[in-house]
Amino acid sequence: MVFRPPVLAPLALALATALAGPLAVAQTAPGPAVSLSLPAQPLTQSLDALARQSGLSLIARPESLRGRMAPAVTGTLAPETALSRLLAGSGLGGRIDAGTIIVTPAVDAAPASGAAPVSTLQTISVSASADASAQGLAETYAGGQVARGGRVGLLGNLDLLDSPVTVTSYTNRLIQDQQARSVADVLLNDPTVRAARGFGNYQETYFIRGFLVPSDDMAYNGLFGLLPRQGLAIEMVERVELLRGASAYLYGATPSGRGIGGTVNIVPKRAPNEPLTQITVGSGTGSPFQIAADVARRFGPDDSAGIRLNAARREGGNGIGHERTEMGVATVGLDWRNSHTRLSADLGYQEHTLKGVRPNVSLGAGLTAVPAAPDARTDYGQPWIASTERDLFGTLRAEHDFNDAWTGWIAAGARRGKESNSLAGVTVNDLAGNGTFYRFDNRRQDDVRTAETGLRGTFQTGAVGHELVAQASFYEGKEKNAYAMDFSNTFPTNIYDPIDYARPPISSGAFTGNDLSDPGPLGRTRLTSVALGDTLSFYDDRLKVTLGGRYQRLDTTAYLYGTGAVDARYRKSRVSPMAGVVFRLREDTSVYANYIESLAKGDVAPTQANNQPVRNAGEILSPYVSRQKEIGIRYDGGRVGGSVALFSTSRPRSFVNADNVFVSSGNDRHQGVELSAFGEITRGLRVLGGVTWIDARQRETGNPTLDGKRVIGVPARQANIGLDWDVPGVAGLSLNTRLVATASRYADSANTLRVPGWARWDVGANYVTDIAGRLVTLRARVDNVTNRGYWASVGGYPDNGYLVLGAPRTVSLSASFEF
């Protein structure tokens, strides 16, 4: 193997190793995919041949390769596949990033030349987030931006061609290369998702297939309710998994009951095979400061135990008036395994403070049109607005193989979160931007406990294979709350020419609930369920049919402000079924279909409506069942993949009818087509994106003037396209760009208030080199290059089309150092 001194040494940020010596690099020009016929020979020779024939550069430490043998590898293979085969059993780590093969040293000392390394190689292989699961982390797809599959609730991790529902798993490489700061930043790459905010607060919220999914319904390693509500530090995240569509059977009913359009699951980080020590610093528009550390080690016999520590601090402005963010997070992830048992644990603490933040904009009753969006840098929020959240959260998970066919697991988690907010939402009353605000303070405390246990096994009955799964789950969330809403003391302002005020005191006319200094009980939600399912396999696994059901009990209690006495109690149960089928047309193509539901508690009939008493006041309606039907086709060409899906989902509505009876009748029906593509078009050119068409209509609303109108906040079309390109001849340099477009939406049920569509252009560059034998990654990014002002989202709360202004042109710079 001939080594030449590198000009640059490309490496992705996610890879890190304790580099004690200089790097050796073989550099070649970019070329086509590889066709190999390699005999069993020294590993150095095989890697050199792979690099030359695939047109890639190579980074490796000669001392870590010395004395190691590679197996024979033949055939026309993706370079990632060939690399995996060459390194199998070597104890070395390897990946391909930015046009470069990177081989990382084994945790133990490399054998000396002439030594027999086979007997001393490690037998354990742990990916960056293998967790307590025999399935481990789904393999990364070509291009490194998404994975080949992801978690499908109680069914576990499934390959993209074998899943009866659609899951997209966004990788840590994508997170780092795009300098994402939130889950919303990551999901902006998905053509089915648009980010919003909570009603009257700064909680991250997502429109998925046109349905609102609040961050309360985000899962952490499969468990609901454990993550901070108002924003999550992305530094603790290995992957963001998006399951599109309803999921009551797969995950259970969500805490808020709004998990209709999809489920977001956050995958935590785990210690990989190779040591990891990484420091990242950053800044950008508004002069923020960012520093993060990511450290991981494995130890014990066969490196069976691992620990990964993440700590980060961000603070400063963002180019929007007097907005300022402070966020600190510290997490630890532990794992241990032997041949039959796997354990993992996570513990995290996060503080998140927002100051002077631009609020949502509500539309006054007299408006006949929507005011134009202000300049994207305008801050019409008051300088004294503040939101502070502190969360302590943790999980435990264990999995045990009883034999080769049957595996059981148990998991549990808990969170205590405290919020303190002083807010001032703006209501605009005319097209000149004039409006008013009032002070609204609230305090909140959440205490969450959750757990699940299950059993999964395989067996055969004649020619039919079975994968049986049984699961029981429990969730309990208790909320304490207090507020002071001073709408008797309003102040004038203008969204184009804001007026700042000193923070007003809470007046004697304020509407209050409980004591702000000591919040009282507001509600308790308890969800319990038992699920059973079977995936039947036919025709040598070409046809798979999944059938199952989950019996769920919804138990909620609402308490009166002030006294803490029980105000209302809801206890209902239902079985949520699922049926799914997947058929492999070819090795690279499958078709699928599913029927699945979501479940939420029904409303309680009010006492009055339209100044008339409601005849069934206090009646508890049966649980709301949203029904989804979907068919689609998926393609996996090895380097490029994609899918087409057609779906129809209906969400029940309720209203007081002409007889003054509160009924569940009618629905919002969302029908759509999704087209997605991902992977590596040619060597060094990656693509990620798609298009979604949605027809979301109100049906049988009880008001003929609304029937057939579009649902608030849902566009007819939205599209994304992202490209990432390794610059030929400049090793380590890659350029990326992304275009995000959203069609117009309506801010009212009658469809008289039309909000214009928008498009946003983002660009970035990543450059990797080595300095004194240490790997350094430099990143620059500009989001919203044209600095366009636009209403990024509309709605987010039933029958309320409030607006959220998009972020201005934002420059982000960062540097990561590997030690």
Q: What does 669-680 look like in DSSP terms, one character per residue? A: EEEEEEEEEEEE
| Phi (first) and psi of residue 86, to 5 degrees | -65, -35
Q: What percent of the chain has pLDDT over 70?
A: 91
Q: Is residue 240 within 8 Å of 206, Cβ to Cβ?
A: no
Q: Give 266's strand partners.
A: 220, 240
3-state secondary structure of 234: helix
Minimal CA–CA distance to 757: which of 197, 373, 190?
373
- pTM (predicted TM-score): 0.85
DSSP state of 486: -
Average pLDDT over residues 85-98: 80
Rg over CA atoms, the chain = 27
Flag whether pLDDT at 606 surpasses 90.
Answer: no
What pLDDT, in 10s, does the model give residues 30-48? Answer: 345 566 777 777 788 788 8
Q: Is residue 467 within 8 Å of 422, Cβ to Cβ?
A: no
Average pLDDT, the chain: 88
- pLDDT bucket at 384, cuts 50 / 70 / 90: very high
Q: Where in the chain is the domain with CATH 2.170.130.10?
A: 149-267
Distance CA 160, CA 775 (A): 33
Q: What is the CATH number of domain 149-267?
A: 2.170.130.10
Helices 79-87, 43-54: axis angle to 10 degrees equals 180
- pLDDT bucket at 709, cuts 50 / 70 / 90: very high
Minimal CA–CA distance to 768: which of 1, 7, 2, 8?
8
Strand order in the sheet with 223-224: 166-170, 237-244, 262-268, 219-220, 223-224
Please tell me the predicted confidence (pLDDT) of residue 538: 96
Q: Give the residue carrying structure tokens 């605000």.
A: 437
DSSP state of 226: -
Please tell me the predicted confidence (pLDDT) of residue 115: 37
User: Would you tell me how many other CB atoms lie within 10 Å of the CB of residue 85?
Assistant: 20
- pLDDT bucket at 496, cuts 50 / 70 / 90: very high
| Sign, Cα dihedral of 180, 185, 191, 192 | positive
What pLDDT, in 10s, does the model give residues 320-378? Answer: 999 999 999 999 999 999 989 999 999 999 999 999 999 999 999 889 999 999 999 99
Q: Where in the chain is the domain with CATH 2.40.170.20?
A: 268-818
User: Would you tell me how many other CB atoms lie within 10 Å of the CB of residue 256?
Assistant: 18
Distance CA 460, CA 457 (A): 11
| Phi (first) and psi of residue 362, to 5 degrees | -95, 155
Q: What does 423-460 look like in DSSP terms, one character per residue? A: E--EEE-STT-EEEE--EEEEEEEEEEEEEEEEEEEEE
Alpha helical stretches, state H, 19-78: 43-54, 62-65
The structure tokens listed for 402 are: 């009883």
Average pLDDT over residues 401-421: 96
Q: Where in the chain is the domain with CATH 3.55.50.30?
A: 24-120
Which architecture, in CATH terms, is 268-818?
Answer: Beta Barrel (2.40)
DSSP state of 797: B
Flag whether pLDDT at 445 surpasses 70.
Answer: yes
Q: What is the CATH number of domain 24-120?
A: 3.55.50.30
Assign 3-class secondary structure to 130-146: CCCCCCCCCCECCCCCE
Distance CA 216, CA 235 (A): 19
